[in-house]
A and B are shown apart, each in its own frame.
Chain A
Amino acid sequence: MTELRNLTDAFAELERRGDAAADRMPAELPHRPSRTSRLVPAAVAVAVVAGLAAGVALLAPGGDSGTQVASAPTGTSVAPPTSPPAVPTTSEDLADRFRTVLGDTATFTVTDTGAAVDMTAPEVPVAPDGAPLPPMSGSAATLVPSNATPNGAAIVGTLTAGGVTGGFDLQIYQQQPGTEPMCDNSDQATCSITDGPAMAIGETPLVNAADGVTYMVQVIREDGVTLLMHVSNERDPKGASEVLAPLPPLTTDQMAAILNSDLW
Chain B
Amino acid sequence: MEFGEYMVLRRAGLMRFATVLTGRTWLAEDLVSDVLCRAFERWDRISRMAEPNAYVRRMIVNDYLSWHRRLARTSPRAEVEPAVAPLTDGADERAERDAMISRLAGLPRRQRTAVVLRYYVGLSDAEIAAEMGCRVPTVRSQISRALATLRVDETTNPRTYQETR
Contacts and interface: CB of A to CB of B under 8 A. Distances in A.
Is A bound to B? Answer: yes
Interface of A: 1-15, 17-22, 25, 27, 29-32, 38, 41-42, 45-46, 49-57, 121-123, 125, 133, 135-141, 143, 169, 171, 173, 182, 184-187, 204, 206-208, 214, 216, 228, 230, 237-240
Interface string B90-111: 0001001110110010001111
Interface in B28-67: 28-30, 32-34, 36-37, 40-41, 62, 65-67
Contacts of A123: 78
Given A3-B157, A10-B100, A121-B80, A50 B73 contact: no
A51 B84 CA distance: 19
B74 A21 contact: no
A186 B29 contact: no
B66 A208 contact: yes
A119 to B, nearest CB: 9
A52 B81 CA distance: 13
A7 B161 contact: yes
Contacts of B109: 185, 187
B15 A21 contact: yes
Given A10-B100, A14-B19, A17-B82, A184 B4 contact: no
A30 B81 CA distance: 27
B14 to A, nearest CB: 8
Contacts of A32: 37, 40-41
Contacts of A42: 30, 33-34
Contacts of A139: 83
Given A31-B37, A54-B75, 19 more contacts: A1-B156, A4-B156, A9-B100, A13-B98, A18-B12, A25-B33, A32-B41, A45-B33, A54-B76, A57-B70, A122-B80, A137-B83, A182-B72, A187-B109, A207-B133, A208-B66, A230-B69, A237-B69, A238-B70
Size range of the chain B interface in the assembly = 35 or more
A2 B153 contact: yes
B83 A29 contact: no
Contacts of A15: 16, 19-20, 164
A141 B80 CA distance: 10
A140 B97 contact: no
Contacts of A49: 25-26, 29-30
Of A21, A121, A171, the most chain B CB neighbours within 10 A belong to A21
A126 to B, nearest CB: 10
Given A7-B150, A9-B100, A29-B4, A186 B108 contact: yes
Contacts of A141: 83
B135 interface: no
Contacts of A22: 11-12, 15-16
Contacts of A21: 15, 19, 25-26, 28-29, 82
Contact of A19 (B12, B33, B85): B12
Contacts of A121: 76-78, 80
B34 to A, nearest CB: 6
Closest 6 CB pairs of A and B: A187-B108, A18-B19, A50-B26, A21-B25, A22-B15, A1-B153
B20 A18 contact: yes
B152 A18 contact: no
A238 B69 CA distance: 7
B150 A136 contact: no
B74 A53 contact: yes
Contacts of B77: 52, 54, 121
Given A45-B33, A187-B108, A3 B80 contact: no
Contact of B119 (A11, A17, A18, A125): A11
Given A25-B15, A185-B109, A207-B133, A9 B93 contact: yes
Given A19-B12, A38-B37, A56 B25 contact: no
A56 B80 contact: no
A14 B19 CA distance: 6
Nearest to B164: A15
